[in-house]
Structure 1
Amino acid sequence: MASTPVSPGTASPLGGRFIADPRPVLDRLRESCPVTHTTSPAGQEVWVVTREADVRAALLNPRLSLAREPVDVGRPHRALDMTLVNYDPPDHTRIRRLAAPALSAARLAPWRERVAELAEGMLDGLGRRESLAGVANLEGAEGADRAERLEVELLADFAQPFAFGVMCEVFGIAEAHRSALRAAMDTLADAQGHSVAEKEAAVSVLDSYVRWRVDLGASADRGAGVIGEVIRTWTAGNETPGAAAVSREELLDLIAMLLLAGYDSTVQMLALAVLTLCAEPDGLAPLAATGELSPSAVDELLRMDTPGPFATTRHALSDVRIAGTVIPAGSQVLLSLTAANHDHRTHTDPQLLRLDRTTRSRQLSFGLGPHYCLGSALARMTLVAALGGLARRWPGARVAVGTERLRWRGGFLHRRLVALPV
């Protein structure tokens, strides 16, 4: 099928209301022109791939590269100057192997009970607010009605402190460092809401903390949690003759990326899952009815909506043929995870939420292949605890405003809800 030509002055289909609801645009592209030549909102030419089979194959295609050369910024290297998604195998494999064992589902399993405790503790706090709202100098039906109408801002009141708390415990971040790190990561996650100076200061905080942990890890006390394990693996690997060494700068970038990506993506996914459930006739009640929420139910929520409509932008190392269309060498390529997750060729009635959907495990929100999300097991554990706890306590929860009034920031690659009043 021929691609759609790029017309000068044509508005990008990825702009405007796209970040609020990308599915109508992506559905149209998938069914009319599954390999589309268009522009980004910044005017850059891109190719958009939307059918599930094509996206799945492209995620595994080594000719679609993520690698980029380090940029000389005229200063010493700082954490996040390069991240894991800036490498292709074998460099990607060489660096990723430091963290993959520590973040595997088996290694994280002992944390499941503690993560559930954290969720219950934070929900207890919201519950106390509910009690105060219902009984403050009121009795009978009026007090009960106020309790029924408890309103919380899901991101600030629960999702952000919970996701950050889980990450701190699992990664081994001491209480003394949490406040500064939380402020820095909130700033970096919401780049549009902060000045250049604020973002630079936040990177410096993250860089300083990661350097301190690496220095600590080289001493007798090698540190705790996932970060400590990653540093121990790095030290042991670099002491092994013939091992593919990872530089100190690459280690700093890896740890900083794990911290930042593991926080904001989980917060936003939790918000989108609640938004999806609240739009259903029975709200969160079906989750409560299942008792212990399963990771497979989370897979269906990941399929329905995800903060990242596209995988990280690839560039074609050579001409690549997808669905009969040749994408020229050097082109920027967007692989739409959202479009693939809603492809009726794979998922029957994809617009419907079905927690028992048999194809839910084929969702691509965590990617596929060498760049499959390192933090997927931790994200699933966090979402299971949070959504299960919310559903058990408030199965009738609803979004407190019309969806048209919700505010979004970010962009077409990573969309962010500013707030979610529930």
Structure 2
Amino acid sequence: MGDLMGDAVGDMAEIDVAGLPAYPFIGPDDDPFTPVKGSDLDRLEGPIGKVRLPFGGWAWLITRHEDVRQLLRHPGFSSDQYKPGFPVLNPIPPKQDDASGLFIFMDGDAHSRFRRMLTAEFMIKNIRRIEPLIEKDVIEALERMRSLGAPADLMNEFALPVPSMTICHLLGVPYADHDFFQHHSRVIMDRKSGPAEVEEALGALTVLLGNLVKAKRTEPGEDLLSRLVAERVVPGELREDELVSLAMLLLVAGHETTANMIGLSALVLLEHPEHLEALREDPSLAPGMVEELLRYLTVVRTGLPRLALEDAEIGGQKIRAGEGVVAMLAMSNRDSSVFGDPDEFDPKRREAHRHMAFGFGLHQCIGQPLARAELRIALLELARRFPELRSERALADVPQRPMAVTFGVAELPVTW
């Protein structure tokens, strides 16, 4: 994978869409750590080539690290999935007038307006203040798993509930609603879900969060939603429906990606028990190990789609206005020109921090300090409290979720 870094392809006068490689790619059925099958790699013409999209049409696929950086910081590309010609990778419902808080699909000033409201909340110093809460959630989930006895499904009993508890606490969402929220968020983040299913799930979450936002006006708490109601909604800077969409985005994105990272990271360490033991003996290894896990796993395997608003050149390839582009983060994080032996997991890798698992540029994940803290604390406590932890299944038999927007395993049976 790391060697697929040849010259960019030239223009083609006529495009045989049916003959292009079908995208998104999925990895081998027996190896959740390899993001792309070798047969799919063989069909690519170089680091920038055309691929066939799942809902029709084609797009440029960008795979090289420097080219992905160039694309994601270029102001001439849009993130608005409702623009004509946008390279759609996942089913999307009809555009709703009350979904204007979904700022990851916005450009320019509209995107900046919402992002500014959240920047301070997710600063590292503020995340450090809630680390005791994260640790409490992690320990509670682990002890509950222990009480159930071995074997247990680490994905269902630990990886899924921890970020759910944390984001619910952070936003002020009653944890009693977490099963409801977890189910609907998984529907939204599954590429097998049809547009009607996604629309239904979005509607259900909208009602739940709408009622909660209204309640925060009269019964505020020490949480993010209460602060946004008091500081943004009441003065008229933010509408209630915008806050509902904003909260939904944070809930869904803040849960699914981190849950999959915790589950996959645990699987990596179970396959490399020497690193799990090293982490238990020396907790200072955790930050570097987390960065390497983020690089190595890159759960947003479908990549980041963009639409060219103007003619541009990326990595020597001319991209015309109106053409779709996909930044494939998983392959850019395996670029051998940046990462030595990129297909190997090396928790002491010095250059691991150069990964783009959280994206890059203006749209990079605003919640990355929270995700890093959750992952670090989850793995440290797992190593400390379950020194005899081992997988119940061979790696090839661990079921994957290849059609999820963020890649993960469906279950992870463990014993101790």
TM-score under structure 2 normalisation? 0.83
Q: Which residue of 1 aligns with 2:343?
A: 351
Question: Which has the larger displacement, 392-401 or 10-19?
Answer: 10-19
Residue 329 (str. 1) matches residue 342 (str. 2): no
Change (3 A) 1:400 1:337: same
Superposed displacement of residue 281, structure 1: 5.7
Percent identity reads 25
* 1:122 and 2:141 matched: yes
AA aligned to 2:147 is: R
> 1:278 offset after TM fit, Å?
2.5
2:278 aligns with: 286
Counterpart selection for 1:231 from 229, 232, 239: 229
What are the equivalent positions in structure 2 for 1:13-412 lying under 5 Å apart? 13-14=22-23, 17-18=26-27, 21-25=34-38, 28=41, 33-69=46-82, 77-79=97-99, 83-130=102-149, 150-190=150-190, 192=192, 199-217=198-216, 219-235=217-233, 238=236, 245-280=237-272, 282=274, 284-291=276-283, 294-395=286-387, 397-409=389-401, 411=403
Does the CA contact (< 8 Å) of 2:21 and 2:44 recur in 1?
A: no
Identify which range, 163-172 or 252-261, moves more after superposition: 163-172
Unaligned runs of 5+ in 2: 1-6, 85-92
Give the superposition deviation at 1:208.
Answer: 1.5
Q: Is 1:9–2:7 an aligned residue pair?
A: no
* Structure 1 vs Structure 2 CA RMSD: 3.2
Q: 1:336 to 1:68 in 2, by over 3 A?
A: closer
After the TM superposition, which of the residue ranges 389-398 and 265-274 deviates more from structure 2? Answer: 389-398
Counterpart residue number, 1:144? none
Shift of 1:322: 1.5
Shift of 1:324: 1.5
State whether residues 27 and 339 of structure 1, in contact with CA within 8 Å, keep that contact through their aligned partners in structure 2.
no
Residue in 1 aligned with 2:87?
Answer: none
Q: Contact 1:14–1:412 at 8 Å: present in 2 too?
A: no
The whole-number CA distance in structure 2 between the counterparts of 1:293 and 1:308 is: 25
Q: Distance in 2 between matches of 1:75 and 1:345?
A: 41
SS state at 1:38 partner: strand
Q: Which amino acid aligns with 1:171?
A: L
Per the alignment, do residues 309 and 179 of structure 1 end up closer, same or farther by CA in structure 2, a change over 3 Å counting?
closer
Structure 1 stretch 62-71 or stretch 259-268: which is displaced more?
Answer: 62-71
**Partner SS for 1:330:** coil
Question: Separation in 1 of the partners of 2:404 and 2:320?
Answer: 23
- What residue in structure 2 maps to residue 141 of structure 1? none
Conserved? CA contact 2:80–2:106, under 8 Å: yes
Whole-Å Cα distance in 1 between the matches of residues 231 and 178 of structure 2?
A: 24
Indicate conservation of the 8 Å contact 1:309/1:412, yes or no: no
Distance 2:218 2:8 in 1: 62
Using the TM superposition, give the Cα deviation of residue 8 of structure 1 relative to its aligned residue in structure 2, in angstroms: 4.7
Structure 1 residue 15, shift from structure 2 partner: 5.3
User: Does the CA contact (< 8 Å) of 1:292 and 1:388 recur in 2?
Assistant: no
Q: Which residue in the other structure is 1:135 paired with? A: none
Secondary structure class of the residue paired with 2:21: coil
Shift of residue 346 of structure 1? 1.1
Shift of 1:56: 1.1
Q: 1:44 to 1:76 in 2, by over 3 A?
A: closer
Compared with structure 1, are the counterparts of its residues 345 and 267 closer, same or farther at alpha carbon in structure 2 (3 Å cutoff)? same
Query: Structure 1 residue 156: deviation in Å?
Result: 0.9
- Kindly indicate whether the alpha-carbon contact (under 8 Å) linking 1:190 and 1:410 is maintained by their aligned counterparts in 2: no
Question: Does the 8 A contact of 2:141 with 2:162 survive in 1?
Answer: yes
Q: Residues 395 and 302 of structure 1: is their aligned pair in 2 closer, same or farther, counting only changes over 3 Å?
A: farther
1:228-256 per-position Cα deviation (integer Å, ceiling 9, x unaligned)? 22333323663xxxxxx444433221111
